């Protein structure tokens, strides 16, 4: 059957008469039908990637590409006066993730399927997902994001379990989303609550946090600033792993496996600490099957691997034993036994599972009971081994390894930047699709003026398209300087802002930049993270000031996209020229936004942090702009507690001028004085992520970037080198490393 014949079956009217909603429904039904026709590939051993988040983005186009029918569908639509772009517009993005960690899980699932490996994801089906960000009066507000209503790739699964939770039993319902590779279809198993009640939600994202049997799967990362919220998060974590564990054991049995050799049938990659309860839960279930607890622990240890994502102290999760008793009373004896064993062997309190305050240290629980502990970029793993987790590295040196993160080029090149993709195929052939390192063939064209000009033309077209997509009148001939990532003080959006304020003040003083600048932000802040929300407030106030001041707007615009997500990322990234990766050195484990932007020909302005270190090594000093304190210096400063922000404030005049501006009349006329004052105080009195010491170097380096930008051919050459060297950051490479070194599938 041809694609045209197939589609006809699923559309109520001829294509040219259909609405875009009808076309979306018809095409996605057709896609589901074609996926269902694929024969399942049998597999002996299977990967289970367990993650609280899967930030997968829209699926229509990637499924069409994976099925190999994208061109046919596009042509069919065009012939009927319709555009595939508009069809995609009718799709709602699944709201199942928050940031880099969730997007990594999505890229990994894509690569696992593309490499024809057997591997599924396990997570939760959050009805309202992460909140939807809405700006009101220059501030972030939060709304529910009911993405499931229109989602046609989410299918009801066949599994449902009874999960004992605290003093009740919860009933689960499996949903699945197919992950389509060229040769195989894997699955994302997302568990929902049979009894979930969406009407519980009152205003915004407020609801009764105590009614677990109704609220458990309503939102990702519910506000945990009170006790009920904390308990809810623990219930969610347990619900996820309890369902996952049952699914894994069931599948092992279905394949005729012996649970005593679970590791021959399953490998479980635990994404950060949220799914760590998988370990005691599996031990518990195996013990129930009649296996002794020692043997059960050994089986689980040989099956599970743990990925560490952060060294931020606040993110090293721990749960009071008292809370564990409420939520998972049956696991407490398991955890206590594991704790006793380790305390007998190791006296260092830093490696205890239950600490002196009777809290369960989730990372410690994982490290003792998994066969692999990996960091997500070279520098991050080094810091884990030699500083943050050194006490563990001394015990288990062989368990520590690095897996530098990656991104799927299918979404972050082919799909989001078709012009660049086509240019690459024209210039170096399509070998890079199977072997991403083949992008280096582009280096042979580094002096080819025509090639360089073409790169600039593609970038310009993407900038124009972005301008059409965004709600402001922006100057497509200005420099597009972009910082898109979660709002967090360690990522230092505030440093970017201090530069922009300084620029604004210079313009007001008559010192005009030689090139107009458009600074674009995209970021959500956690609803209870006050300072992060104050930073968003300041960005939005600067947006208003630069938009409405005719002395400034021709030279400087600040713009912040609402509800930054995968869909907007796919528009912003191809249009970016300067990629802001300015985290405080040692704090960004890897970053993956940096890789997406590099691949799309943006030049990195960054600190020597996370995967920026590897980008720097690959492209060399001439093709990246690095500034600021190195990780060693930062760790030393923290160690000595020697940093005093106020000293910089008082001795660097331009810095003082910018900081003072935050509460000046200009900003207070468009913003809220209290919020702005709170932010200013935080900076002067604390500045925990050390923006002030890096300010002067940042300003100087950023000015150098803008100055170098003007030599268009030299700039295009930098773009070319970045694209050519990005192959290393393909998640196909990362997944092959996981597989050959850890998972050993096939
Ligand atoms: C890639 C991505 C991120 C991660 O960005 P970082 O700069 O690495 O923090 C976050 N959100 C979305 C939507 C992304 O696509």
Q: What is the DSSP string of 575-608?
A: H-SEEEE-PPTTS-S--SHHHHHHHTTPEEEE-S
Q: Domain for residue 170, yes or no? A: yes
Pair (346, 213) in one structural domain: yes
Q: Domain for residue 187, yes or no? A: yes
Count CB neighbours of 33 within 10 A.
12
Pair (183, 267) in one structural domain: yes
The per-residue pLDDT for range 554-604, each reduced to its tens digit, is 999 999 999 999 999 999 999 999 999 999 999 999 999 999 999 999 999
Burial 8-26 (b: 16+ CB within 10 A, else e): bebbeeebeebebebbbbb
- CATH no. for residue 269? 3.40.50.2000
Q: Domain for residue 393, yes or no? A: yes
Find the catalytic residue in 184, 246, 445, 491.
491
Q: DSSP H helical segments within 255-404, as ranges? A: 278-288, 293-303, 321-327, 332-345, 362-368, 378-383, 390-395
Q: Domain for residue 14, yes or no? A: no
Give whole-number Cα distances, 518 to 227, 480, 547, 603, 703, in Å: 43, 5, 11, 15, 14
Pair (719, 738) in one structural domain: no
* Total of domains in the chain: 2
Residues in Cβ contact with 7 at an 8 Å cutoff, skipping those fewer than 6 apart:
15, 26, 27, 30, 73, 76
Give whole-number Cα distances, 141 to 71, 206, 229, 525, 564, in Å: 40, 12, 19, 10, 13
Find the catalytic residue in 546, 592, 607, 663.
592
What is the C-alpha separation between 455 and 374, in angstroms, rounded?
Answer: 37
- Which of 579, 592, 605 has the most ligand 1 atoms within 8 A of CB, as the residue to mutate? 592
Residues in Cβ contact with 474 at an 8 Å cutoff, skipping those fewer than 6 apart:
467, 518, 557, 559
Count CB neighbours of 657 within 10 A.
15
Q: Domain for residue 19, yes or no? A: no
Q: Domain for residue 29, yes or no? A: no
3-state DSSP assignment of residue 117 = coil
Q: How confident is the model at residue 491 (pLDDT cuts 50, 70, 90)?
A: very high
**Kind of pairing between the strands at 46-50 and 266-271:** parallel
3-state secondary structure labels for all residues of 614-639: HHHHHHCHHHCEECCCCHHHHHHHHH
The per-residue pLDDT for range 312-354, each reduced to its tens digit, is 877 789 999 999 999 999 999 999 999 999 999 999 999 999 9
- Which of 103, 482, 602 has the most ligand 1 atoms within 8 A of CB, as the residue to mutate? 103
| Of 244, 268, 248, the residue nearest 259 (C-alpha) | 248
Pair (390, 463) in one structural domain: no
491 belongs to the catalytic site? yes
Atom of ligand 1 nearest to the CA of 592: 8
Pair (480, 574) in one structural domain: yes
Pair (682, 738) in one structural domain: no
Pair (340, 304) in one structural domain: yes
Distance 506 CA to ligand 1 centre (A): 32
Q: Domain for residue 370, yes or no? A: yes
Pair (515, 389) in one structural domain: no
Find the catalytic residue in 45, 233, 309, 359.
309
592 belongs to the catalytic site? yes
Pair (118, 262) in one structural domain: yes
- Which of 54, 55, 96, 220 has the most ligand 1 atoms within 8 A of CB, as the residue to mutate? 55
What is the C-alpha separation between 422 and 715, in angstroms, rounded?
Answer: 21
Pair (230, 325) in one structural domain: yes
Per-residue pLDDT at 684 = 98
- Whether pTM > 0.85 for this model: the answer is yes
Ligand 1 neighbours, Cβ below 6 Å, are: 99-100, 103, 485-486, 565-566, 569, 591-593, 596
Burial 45-60 (b: 16+ CB within 10 A, else e): bbbbbbbbbbbbbbbb
Distance 737 CA to ligand 1 centre (A): 22
Pair (365, 486) in one structural domain: no
Distance 562 CA to ligand 1 centre (A): 15
Q: Domain for residue 426, yes or no? A: no
- Percent of the chain topping pLDDT 70: 100
Q: DSSP H helical segments within 369-448, as ranges? A: 378-383, 390-395, 409, 418-428
Atom of ligand 1 nearest to the CA of 596: 1
The per-residue pLDDT for range 363-402, each reduced to its tens digit, is 999 999 999 999 999 999 999 999 999 999 999 999 999 9
Domain that holds residue 519: 457-726
Inform me whether the pLDDT recorded for 508 exceeds 90.
Answer: yes
Q: How confident is the model at residue 1 (pLDDT cuts 50, 70, 90)?
A: confident
Pair (215, 242) in one structural domain: yes
524 belongs to the catalytic site? no
596 belongs to the catalytic site? yes
Per-residue pLDDT at 539 = 98
Count CB neighbours of 290 within 10 A.
8
Count CB neighbours of 733 within 10 A.
17
Per-residue pLDDT at 538 = 98
């Amino acid at each position: 059957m041809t694609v045209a014949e197939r589609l006809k079956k699923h559309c109520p009217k001829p294509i040219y008469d259909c609405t875009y909603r009808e076309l979306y429904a018809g095409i996605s039904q057709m896609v589901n039908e074609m996926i269902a026709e694929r024969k399942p590939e049998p597999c002996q051993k299977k990967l289970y990637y367990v993650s609280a988040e899967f930030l997968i983005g829209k699926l229509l186009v990637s499924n069409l590409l994976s099925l190999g029918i994208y061109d046919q569908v596009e042509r069919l639509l065009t012939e009927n006066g319709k555009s595939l772009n508009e069809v995609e517009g009718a799709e709602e993005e699944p709201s199942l993730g928050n940031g880099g960690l969730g997007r990594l899980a999505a890229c990994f699932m894509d690569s696992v399927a593309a490499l024809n490996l057997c591997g599924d994801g396990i997570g939760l089906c959050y009805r309202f997902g992460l909140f939807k960000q809405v700006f009101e009066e220059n501030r972030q507000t939060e709304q529910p994001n009911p993405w499931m209503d229109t989602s046609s790739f989410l299918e009801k699964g066949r599994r449902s379990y009874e999960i004992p939770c605290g003093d009740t039993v919860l009933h689960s319902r499996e949903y699945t989303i197919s992950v389509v590779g060229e040769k195989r279809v894997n699955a994302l198993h997302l568990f929902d609550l049979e009894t979930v009640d969406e009407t519980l939600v009152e205003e915004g994202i407020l609801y009764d946090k105590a009614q677990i049997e109704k609220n458990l799967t309503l939102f990702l990362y519910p506000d945990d600033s009170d006790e009920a919220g904390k308990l809810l998060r623990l219930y969610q974590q347990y619900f996820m792993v309890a369902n996952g564990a049952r699914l894994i054991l069931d599948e092992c049995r279905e394949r005729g496996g012996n649970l005593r050799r679970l590791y021959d049938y399953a490998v479980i990659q635990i994404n950060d600490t949220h799914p760590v309860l998988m370990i005691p839960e599996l031990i518990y279930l195996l013990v129930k099957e009649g296996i002794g607890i020692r043997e059960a622990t050994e089986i689980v240890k040989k099956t599970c691997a743990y990925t560490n994502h952060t060294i931020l102290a606040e993110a090293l999760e721990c749960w009071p034993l008292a809370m564990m008793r409420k939520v998972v009373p049956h696991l407490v004896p398991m955890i206590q036994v594991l704790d006793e064993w380790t305390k007998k062997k190791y006296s260092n309190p830093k490696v205890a599972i239950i600490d002196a305050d009777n809290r369960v240290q989730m990372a410690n629980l994982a490290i003792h009971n998994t066969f692999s502990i990996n960091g997500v970029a070279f520098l991050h793993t080094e810091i884990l081994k030699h500083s943050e987790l050194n006490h563990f590295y001394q015990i288990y040196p062989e368990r520590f390894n690095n897996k530098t993160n990656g991104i799927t080029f299918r979404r972050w090149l082919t799909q989001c930047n078709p012009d660049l993709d086509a240019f690459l195929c024209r210039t170096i052939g399509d070998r890079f699709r199977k072997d991403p390192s083949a992008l280096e063939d582009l280096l042979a064209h580094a002096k080819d003026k025509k090639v360089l000009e073409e790169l600039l033309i593609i970038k310009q077209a993407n900038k124009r398209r972005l301008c059409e997509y965004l709600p402001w009148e922006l100057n497509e001939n200005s420099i597009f300087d972009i910082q898109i990532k979660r709002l967090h003080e360690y990522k230092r959006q505030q440093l970017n802002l201090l530069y922009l304020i300084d620029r604004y003040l210079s313009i007001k003083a008559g010192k005009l930049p030689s090139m107009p600048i458009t600074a674009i932000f995209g970021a959500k802040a956690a609803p209870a993270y006050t300072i992060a929300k104050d930073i968003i407030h300041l960005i939005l106030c600067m947006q208003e000031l630069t938009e409405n001041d005719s002395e400034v707007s021709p030279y400087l615009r600040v713009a912040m996209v609402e509800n930054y997500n995968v869909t907007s990322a796919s528009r912003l990234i191809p249009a970016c020229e300067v990629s802001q990766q300015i985290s405080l050195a040692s704090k960004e484990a890897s970053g993956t936004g940096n890789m997406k932007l590099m691949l799309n020909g943006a030049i990195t302005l960054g600190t020597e942090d996370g995967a920026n270190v590897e980008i720097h090594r690959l492209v060399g000093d001439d093709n990246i702009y690095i500034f600021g304190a190195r990780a060693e210096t930062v760790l030393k400063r923290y160690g000595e507690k020697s940093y005093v922000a106020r000293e910089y404030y008082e001795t660097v005049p331009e810095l003082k001028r910018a900081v003072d501006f935050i509460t000046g009349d200009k900003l207070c006329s468009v913003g809220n004085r209290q919020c702005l004052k709170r932010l200013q105080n935080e900076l002067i009195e604390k500045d925990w992520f050390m923006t002030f010491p890096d300010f002067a170097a940042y300003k100087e380096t950023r000015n150098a970037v803008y100055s170098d930008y003007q030599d268009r051919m030299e700039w295009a050459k930098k773009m070319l080198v970045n694209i050519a060297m990005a192959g290393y950051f393909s998640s196909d490479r990362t997944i092959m490393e996981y597989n050959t070194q850890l998972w050993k599938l096939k």
